[in-house]
Structure 1
Amino acid sequence: MNSIAKTGVVTAAGAMSGTSLDGVDVAVLRTDGRQIAGFGRSAYRSYDAEERAAIAAGFGKWSGTEVDTAAQVVEHAHLAVLSEFTDVDLIGFHGQTLSHAPRAQGTLQVGDGAMLARELGVPVVWDFRSADVQMGGEGAPLAPFFHHACAQFIGAQEPVAFLNLGGVGNLTWVDPQVAEPQIEGALLAFDTGPANAPLNDLMQTRLGQPYDRDGAVARRGTVETGALELFLAEPYFAKMPPKSLDRNDFAEMVALVEELPDADAAATLTAMCAAGVAEAMQHCPRPPSRVLVTGGGRQNPVLMEMLRVSLDCEVAAIEEVGLDGDMLEAQAFAYLAVRVARGLPTSCAGTTGVRAAVGGGIVSLP
């Protein structure tokens, strides 16, 4: 299929590779770009240690050999898994963020969507963030428009918050009573602070493990309150949203715990993630009825316990409302791809601070 229907429900696959570098998620969504009509199959392809290292070598860089190598790894991995999804109408390809400095150089997601369209024979929508940054936005987070559709899909009547705990944490406050996501008052979204990335880095460096499975290491430790207080003194937390972070913006977090034993360091980094979320809740227009947690962080019971203790509302893994916390971001880029193809906005002042509602993305036909 070399064109995309302009009306009605279409089937899209979204592909996401996050800053935690676990692998590529692909998920199918049926949508008209406004409402969710249904969910389809999904797939996951993990990065091996060599691929992870090659991509990580490009973090914080804007050009050069490391960036080119990272792009090739990302493209190869995506081609491998997306080759199973050529029966869809279009693909939303996020690519891999290597650098994000919206008020300076901009934002860089590597991976060539035009090449993927040629190889797969399916239209590919990609480069979702650049237009938003060019119009004064943060370029992130981009999932909130999909979160709005999810809140309506699950029949939420009261404001609800979606908390994604990937490499970086981000929060979307949604009022499902507001009909369209770009209407003022429908959404507020911003990054809460670091989430899994510093903890994953610590686990990899010290213990040779990609992450703290089941929070087992953190559970044995004690939180170093002095380090936690220094972390919360960061000006970022007092800054009004919208606001966004690069994966490495809080690199000094690891320095705050480098003298601590493994378990105490893991406990403290986990507490920092939860504390950032607690600070973020103060920015919500009014308290959400509950916080639905998505991303890898929801599978860490120690982190979930810390969130329940520090937040004044119900905290639940998103599976409790029938959604898939592993695939929500991939589904979001399927949803956004349809919106881009149909000329609908994908971000607005309440989500990225962009001056006017804007639809990002490039559409590449095979």
Structure 2
Amino acid sequence: MDRWNEDGDGNRGGACSTQSAVDTTSAPGPAQSCQDAVDRTVDTKPLVAVGLMSGTSMDGIDAALLTTDGERVLHFGGVATYPYAEAFRTRLRALLGSAPGTEADDVVRELTVLHAAAVERLLTAVGVDAAAVDVVGFHGHTVLHRPERRLTRQMGDGQALADLLGIPVVADFRSADVAAGGHGAPLASLFHAAMAWSVMKPVAVLNIGGVANVTWIGDAPDGGDLVMAFDTGPGNALVDDWVRRMSGRRWDERGRLARGGRVRDDLVTAWLGDPYFRAPPPKSLDRNTYAAVLDAVVGLSAEDGAATLTAFTVRAVAQGQAFLPVPPSRWLICGGGRLNGTMMAMLADALPAPVEPVEAAGWDGDALEAQAFAFLAVRSVKGLPLSLPSTTGVPAPTRGGVMHRPGGVAAAGAGLR
């Protein structure tokens, strides 16, 4: 398997759900039900999984342990974070948007070794032997996402990770969706729906990482969940890049810089005129899609630039409300954005429903993305879809992921045996 997980073929159809599945015979609507088409022949045995996430913020690796049958989360284990050294982060940042090359191969090897270390750190911390883990979900690090060209690249060597850990690894989660005509993102939507089983609906789960994306979850008439998802716009990436440029710091901690600034409304209004924000979902973005707006804030103070870029993220979310089937009764915020007090205050002002961090629902906001890829790895093992027409725009519920067995051969759609 190419260590740059680019494009790929996958199997489509089958079941999809948090508690069930999508009716694959009906045309996709604005949101799809997760109830009627469950494949009752799928093995319901719970599996222990580790999920790994290297987010677009490039802070480091999040690792999370959980037990799931691919439809429900039955038990949460521990979580661990493995920060990247600044030198490695710089090398990784330099590859964003790039094609494979010698330097990339070196980074892939180091990235994979660091992910192995993150798994080992997690298992040591919680006292779990590697032999007790059924599968590892390895997202890798996204360096390029161009779904309109059917192109997505996540750096990482799934086979090498399986060999290092002695544990089966599922990697390359996005390629089958993109190859089938979907956006390959957002992918955490079915996990969000599984987590929201006890939350009053409709609810919106807003993940603010480098890119911001929303999962809308409602009650379906058949008793399941309606799910819809899309990228609303930039997340923290622009603010992070601005703060790095102006101060050398990695982010606007707690939103203190933006809090002291004045928003340039004319700039935000102009940026929101981009056709992306008028296009209906499903839709997705690359981390650097709007990198050019940084040139427009040159000449502003550090505070005004941070405030203006933060407002861009927030107002893109507010504008995206128009695409939701019905207004959510609550917004649950995850990702690094939930720790930005200024961003959270702006969201509270811009959205008509209560805005809360996911911790208010009893979720772990630091572990959620890693947990999602543990969940998706188990769904991949069981042959369950990872994406729906209403979450990525793929033509039909689509399976994904490539299984790598220690000392073995990569295979799409394969189980553990």
* TM-score tier (shorter): over 0.9
Structure 1 residues 275 and 260: CA distance shift in structure 2, 3 A: same
Aligned to 2:273: 233
Alignment of 1:130-145 (within 5 A): 130-145=175-190
Report the Cα distance in structure 2 between the residues aligned to 1:244 and 1:319, rounded to whole angstroms.
Answer: 26
Query: Is the contact made by 2:331 and 2:354 (CA closer than 8 Å) also made in structure 1?
Result: yes
Aligned to 1:362: 402
Alignment of 1:347-358 (within 5 A): 347-358=387-398
Query: Is the contact made by 1:57 and 1:66 (CA closer than 8 Å) also made in structure 2?
Result: no
Query: Is the contact made by 1:55 and 1:69 (CA closer than 8 Å) also made in structure 2?
Result: no
> In percent, how many aligned pairs have the same letter?
46
Report the Cα distance in structure 1 between the residues aligned to 2:90 and 2:382, rounded to whole angstroms.
Answer: 37
Aligned to 1:40: 77
Aligned to 1:8: 45
Report the Cα distance in structure 1 between the residues aligned to 2:261 and 2:236, rounded to whole angstroms.
Answer: 17
Question: TM-score, with normalisation over the residues of structure 2?
Answer: 0.83
Q: Which one of the candidate residues 164, 169, 188 is aligned to 2:212? A: 169
Q: Which one of the candidate residues 61, 70, 73 is aligned to 1:24? A: 61
Report the Cα distance in structure 2 between the residues aligned to 1:280 and 1:129, rounded to whole angstroms.
Answer: 23
- Matched position secondary structure for 1:206: helix
Question: TM-score, with normalisation over the residues of structure 1?
Answer: 0.95
Report the Cα distance in structure 2 between the residues aligned to 1:255 and 1:179, rounded to whole angstroms.
Answer: 50
Report the Cα distance in structure 2 between the residues aligned to 1:291 and 1:212, rounded to whole angstroms.
Answer: 22
Structure 1 residues 46 and 179: CA distance shift in structure 2, 3 A: farther
Query: Is the contact made by 1:55 and 1:73 (CA closer than 8 Å) also made in structure 2?
Result: no
Instruction: State which drifts further: 212-221 or 84-93.
Output: 84-93
Aligned to 2:372: 332
Query: Is the contact made by 1:349 and 1:355 (CA closer than 8 Å) also made in structure 2?
Result: yes
Report whether the alignment pairs 1:322 with 2:362: yes
Q: Which one of the candidate residues 241, 244, 251 is aligned to 2:284? A: 244
Report whether the alignment pairs 1:187 with 2:227: yes
Task: Please list the CA deviations of residues 316-360 of structure 1 after superposition, one character each: whole Å capped at 9, or x if unmatched.
Answer: 000001001111000000000000000000001000000110111
Report the Cα distance in structure 2 between the residues aligned to 1:165 and 1:239, rounded to whole angstroms.
Answer: 20
Q: Structure 1 runs of 4+ off > 3 angstroms?
A: 176-181
Report the Cα distance in structure 2 between the residues aligned to 1:330 and 1:11, rounded to whole angstroms.
Answer: 14
Query: Is the contact made by 2:219 and 2:226 (CA closer than 8 Å) also made in structure 1?
Result: yes
- Matched position secondary structure for 1:359: coil
Task: Please list the CA deviations of residues 211-261 of structure 1 after superposition, one character each: whole Å capped at 9, or x if unmatched.
Answer: 001111111110011111111111110000000000110011211211211
Q: Which one of the candidate residues 200, 204, 209 is aligned to 1:157? A: 200
Report the Cα distance in structure 2 between the residues aligned to 1:192 and 1:8, rounded to whole angstroms.
Answer: 36
- How far residue 69 of structure 1 moved from its aligned partner, in angstroms, is 3.2
Report the Cα distance in structure 2 between the residues aligned to 1:361 and 1:144, rounded to whole angstroms.
Answer: 16
- How far residue 176 of structure 1 moved from its aligned partner, in angstroms, is 4.4
CA RMSD of aligned residues (A): 1.5
Residue 133 of structure 1 aligns with an amino acid whose one-letter code is: V
- Matched position secondary structure for 1:175: strand
Structure 1 residues 107 and 178: CA distance shift in structure 2, 3 A: farther
Structure 1 residues 20 and 178: CA distance shift in structure 2, 3 A: farther
Structure 1 residues 196 and 258: CA distance shift in structure 2, 3 A: same
Report the Cα distance in structure 2 between the residues aligned to 1:7 and 1:131, rounded to whole angstroms.
Answer: 24
Query: Is the contact made by 2:70 and 2:379 (CA closer than 8 Å) also made in structure 1?
Result: yes
Query: Is the contact made by 2:387 and 2:398 (CA closer than 8 Å) also made in structure 1?
Result: yes
Report the Cα distance in structure 2 between the residues aligned to 1:18 and 1:274, rounded to whole angstroms.
Answer: 20
- Matched position secondary structure for 1:103: helix
Q: How many residues align?
A: 357
